[in-house]
Amino acid sequence: MINLTEEKNKKIDFKVKTFTVVTSAILFMCSLTQIAFHIKDSDHIGQYSIGCLLFGWLAIPGPGILWLANPLLLFSWIALFKNIKKAFVYSTAAFALAICFIFFRKIKLYNVMGESDILSLGLGYWLWVSSCFTNLIGISALYLRFINNR
Mapped onto helix, strand or coil, the DSSP state of residue 9 is helix
Q: How far is 54 from 61, CA to CA, in rounded Å?
A: 16
Q: Is 55 inside a domain boundary?
A: no
Q: Is 5 inside a domain boundary?
A: no
Could you tell me the pLDDT band of residue 42, with boundaries at 50, 70 and 90?
Answer: low
Q: Is 7 inside a domain boundary?
A: no
- Asked if pLDDT for residue 43 goes beyond 80, the answer is no
One-character DSSP codes across 13-25: HHHHHHHHHHHHH
Q: pLDDT tens, 53-101?
A: 888 777 666 667 888 999 999 999 999 999 999 999 999 999 999 999 8
Rounded mean pLDDT, 2-15: 78
Q: What number of other Cβ atoms are within 10 A of residue 79's Cβ?
A: 19
- pTM summary value: 0.87
Q: Is 47 inside a domain boundary?
A: no
CB 138 within 8 A of CB 95: no
Q: What number of other Cβ atoms are within 10 A of residue 82's Cβ?
A: 8
**CB-facing half-sphere around the CA of 38: CA atoms within 13 A:** 8
Q: What is the pLDDT of residue 75?
A: 97
Rounded mean pLDDT, 102-116: 74
Q: Is 1 inside a domain boundary?
A: no
- Give how many domains the chain has, as a whole number: 1
Which residue from 77, 100, 57 is spatially nearest to 17, judged by alpha carbons?
77
Domain extent, residue 35, equals 15-42+62-148
Q: Is 54 inside a domain boundary?
A: no
Q: Is 50 inside a domain boundary?
A: no
